[in-house]
Amino acid sequence: MKYQAIVSDLDGTLLNGEHRFSDKTKKVIKEVKDRVKKIFIATGRHHLDALELKKQLGLDSYLISSNGAIIHNENNEIVYERDMEEDVVKKILEKKCSKDISRHIYTDNNWYIEEELEEFKSFHQESGFSYTVEDFDKVDYSKVIKIFFISKNFKELEALEKEIENEFGDRISLTLSGEECLEIMAHSVCKGEAIKSVMERLEIPLESVIAFGDGLNDYEMLKEVGKGLIMENASVRLKDRLPNNEIIGKNTEDGVAEYLERKFLEIE
């Protein structure tokens, strides 16, 4: 199979344990790109965050962000955007959460949280994108791209996931992207659908696409493409749902770069 496109998640996949691109990753991505392989980012991150990371890699391709709620073209222009329904946002944010859960909102131009949380800044120091502390009652709910809840209490997040799914199931997409993060978007929003849309625009068959991921928000993407590769550090739930997919190295050991180097750069 001659692969025409490469798609990668960021956190836990292309970014290392410090949420940065290693020198090796940057080098391999450039070399693979120079061999006329299209490389795309598909991430749960906000587009203002992801656009900066895309620039660091020197990519001139489409960008999928907020798990597929926003798609930018090669010129960094929005070609697709799907916001959540305003009344759904309001009702979800009215739900009682314990103090162990931090609530987050992505709008078209901002990332809002309710109190200063220094721990989240390290995830985004590479791009310079950061949160704004704001009273959620003052946020414009008509511009919400994604809501997410973060907690180290997995059982509590799992219970919240079931509650929200039971109440809004046909009006939202939701995923426990990791053991500590529950993400909620508009109905039918996911990386898999976004990948299909982008590849259709570019007339690239899905079977000629390789994708890399580590979380349940990557599930549809890894299932849809010709070769979906799972990181060794991926969530157990992702591995269980895709038992026949190949597992590669850890993100902390340049797993994606190592695979791409073997697949596309080694002299035969």
- Catalytic positions: 9
Residue type at 103 in one-letter notation:
R
b/e per residue 137-159 (b: at least 16 CB within 10 A): eebebebbbbbbbbbeeeebbee
Strands 209-213 vs 5-8: parallel, antiparallel or unpaired:
parallel
> How far is 49 from 54, CA to CA, in rounded Å?
9
Q: Kindly report the CA angle at 83 between 81 and 84, in degrees rounded to 5?
A: 155
Structure tokens belonging to residue 9: 């998640």
> How far is 98 from 48, CA to CA, in rounded Å?
30
